[in-house]
């Protein structure tokens, strides 16, 4: 995808779909209704790996350029960067709990639910705020040269879940995504 705004929004849409699937599993966990822990682990693993390696580096450059073009966005961009750190910490904690559950380690249900709730709330709020406030401002203010720098910040590598050559590890997750939204 050559349009960086379209790519940015498409990735956010993918992340939101994954958060929806994760929330369904968290609801099943809360109801003790046979959640798929492996699926949960795959979702959180992907959301920890792909955005940090590919998505956020582009955002960092776009945010920096946006602040140069509109200094009034500085507080919001700093908040978004802080959100990235909180989401990483919450995701790391949730991953740890899920791995323990899969390994049959006894973990307090309340800890897993709290970690999942924190992760879901922060991630969703973050995506909504970026889409509502920062993406439109970036689209309006960034120059073609700015966008070239944003695109250049992207490390090379395929998307292991939504890319053409997805990793076998994510086969079940791809199936669940297709079942949840056959038109996507």
Render pLDDT for 22-44 as a digit per residue (tens, 0 to 9).
Answer: 999 999 998 988 899 999 999 99
Cα torsion 79, 118, 11, 174 to 10°: value is 170
* Cβ–Cβ under 8 Å, residues 85 and 27: no
* Cβ–Cβ under 8 Å, residues 49 and 160: yes
**pLDDT above 90: residue 53:** no
Confidence grade of residue 51 (pLDDT, cut at 50, 70, 90) = confident
* Cβ–Cβ under 8 Å, residues 19 and 123: yes
Q: What is the pTM of this model?
A: 0.90
- Helices 74-102/56-69 angle, 10° precision: 170
Instruction: Report the candidate in 76, 184, 87, 91 with the shortest Cα–Cα distance to residue 135.
Output: 76
pLDDT of residue 1: 45
């Amino acid at each position: 995808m050559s349009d960086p705004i379209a790519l940015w929004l498409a990735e956010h849409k993918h992340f939101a779909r994954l958060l929806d699937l994760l929330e369904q599993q968290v609801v099943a966990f809360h109801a003790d209704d046979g959640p798929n822990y492996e699926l949960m682990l795959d979702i959180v693993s992907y959301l920890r790996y792909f955005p940090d390696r590919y998505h956020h580096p582009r955002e960092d450059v776009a945010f920096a350029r946006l602040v140069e073009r509109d200094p009034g966005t500085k507080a919001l961009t700093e908040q978004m960067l802080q959100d990235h750190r909180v989401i990483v910490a919450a995701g790391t904690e949730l991953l740890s709990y899920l791995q323990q559950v899969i390994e049959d380690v006894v973990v307090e249900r309340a800890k897993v639910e709290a970690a999942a709730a924190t992760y879901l709330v922060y991630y969703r709020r973050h995506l909504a705020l970026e889409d509502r406030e920062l993406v439109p401002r970036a689209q309006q203010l960034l120059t073609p040269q700015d966008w070239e720098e944003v695109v250049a910040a992207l490390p090379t590598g395929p998307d292991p879940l939504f890319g053409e050559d997805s990793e076998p590890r994510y086969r079940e997750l791809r199936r669940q995504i297709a079942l949840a939204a056959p038109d996507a």
